[in-house]
Chain A
């Protein structure tokens, strides 16, 4: 066991013990951090590993959330069922977008625009699906905010926290495994130079598709969690491009393509953004949009001073590897 493993074990232990000491506000912030860490990890598979920029990941969060919430609302089927439908739909969507783009050689910013386009017209489309509430939103019943009904994802805030912690840990382990596998090497080669990757025998179409599909499936699960945690869904919010940006800021600020980047970035952004909002509120000042201004400033600072993100610099200081 080296230093990196030791620090990781310490981190997990602290996170596992948090609900014992934290009040409900701290717990809700921590849950939010883990949510963004998880979603960022999923997005990082596509961009950080394989170099494919998606600016429309809200699509997978939204479709995943609506799939699970719709099943629960209309048929009483809990998260245990919804998660499979969510994953299946998002895999199909991701495969469709990936096929369109990679088959016809759409890459770089044009690929990013395509992902935005899909998220946007899905948002507009959901405004017209009355069966799922349309623009007025879909609300699922808030029952028993106590207990632990994991199968249906109904229960106390601490349960949601632990679910998100487990998901984040699983995503971390999955990404660590992927990065060390054939897929990880191939994705990084494609990210660095696609032509050279192809000349070394890599079927770039197939491996890019795999990255999109894995990322979409992981993000779908985040959507399911979102639906049952917040209990209300509006197309205007969940599919909005600002939601996609929130997801990608964590990995970018934390360190693209690294395993700890998404976690660190989510923590820094969520804690500081909430802290500043709270601080201003306590002083009696309330500015709508202060969070977005803050995101902008942090992003600028990171690009200027730590162009590879916070984690690579911090990892050197701590004396641990990637």
Chain B
């Protein structure tokens, strides 16, 4: 599999606090990768640097063989990277479907085409019955779905998911996992996810990258990573059962 996203030697500090240090990892075309680690390990900072919210202090990020580390967030989106936010950011005063229309307009040539695409995605995400409700009226699980729907509407090649399973009930979590597997298989969409819900990580990711104090401390298949001594010590705990 050829590489879609390649992060090489990425570092980012905030006023001397090193959030990410010399991190390198990649996401091949059509792959699902997970980024895990304890709170404050620098996972969301990694996402924000990839998505163009922050410029890295060092390192390069190649997407489809083009450097993207100096692009703005909107340009990163145009390049083909969609993202969700850990703290969901719905357009509260807009309806569910209009939220998704905003995303669809990224590639759609006009508003009516965007509306059509948005309606399909809303349906696919299971938000169909709520499409005309204001986004502010949604429950948290539905807001997470809306984040995903909006990002998918921009037709990305790579989707960055920041803790979309957190706060979901186990059955909802399993549905979400099934959904991502399905779009990964059907559309060849590559996914990089940050997740604390190990149940979802184990089920989805073929490969896991573990961050601690901003550094990559382990990588491998989910089964390998959960047996790694360093990972057990800093994150999962000695008696981890997954």
Contacts and interface: CB of A to CB of B under 8 A. Distances in A.
A193 B91 contact: yes
B178 interface: no
B89 to A, nearest CB: 4
A182 B111 contact: yes
A200 B102 contact: yes
Interface string B78-101: 100011010001111110001001
B89 A201 contact: no
Interface stretch (A100-108, A116-124, A183-191, A244-252): A183-191
Contacts of B90: 192-193, 196
A203 B154 CA distance: 14
Interface in B41-86: 51, 53, 72-74, 77-78, 82-83, 85
Nearest to A188: B94
A257 B85 CA distance: 26
Nearest to A184: B111
Pick the most buried of B72, B74, B94, B98: most chain A CB atoms within 10 A of its CB.
B74
A245 B214 CA distance: 50
A185 B105 contact: yes
B74 A202 contact: yes
Contacts of B77: 198-201
Q: Is the interface of A mostly helix, strand, loop or mixed?
A: helix
A204 B72 CA distance: 10
Contacts, number: 76
A201 B75 CA distance: 6
Pick the most buried of A193, A199, A202: most chain B CB atoms within 10 A of its CB.
A199
Contacts of B154: 200-201
B101 A199 contact: no
Nearest to B83: A199
A200 B78 contact: no
A193 B74 CA distance: 14
Nearest to B156: A201
A189 B151 CA distance: 14
Contacts of A204: 74
Contacts of A182: 105, 110-111
A192 B92 contact: yes
A202 B105 CA distance: 9
A313 to B, nearest CB: 16
Contact of A196 (B89, B98, B105, B114): B89
A189 B93 CA distance: 9
B53 to A, nearest CB: 8
Interface string A223-262: 0000000000000000000000000000000000100000
Nearest to B81: A199
A202 B73 CA distance: 9
Interface in A162-201: 180-182, 185-186, 188-189, 191-193, 195-201
Given A185-B101, A185-B102, A186-B105, A196 B74 contact: no
B106 A181 contact: no
Contacts of B74: 198-204
Nearest to A203: B74
Pick the most buried of B72, B73, B94, B153: most chain A CB atoms within 10 A of its CB.
B73
Given A199-B74, A200-B74, A200-B154, 10 more contacts: A180-B111, A188-B93, A189-B91, A192-B91, A192-B94, A196-B90, A198-B77, A200-B106, A201-B78, A202-B102
6 contacts: A185-B98, A185-B111, A192-B90, A192-B94, A199-B83, A200-B103
Interface of A: 180-182, 185-186, 188-189, 191-193, 195-204, 257
Closest 5 CB pairs of A and B: A201-B77, A192-B91, A196-B89, A201-B106, A198-B73
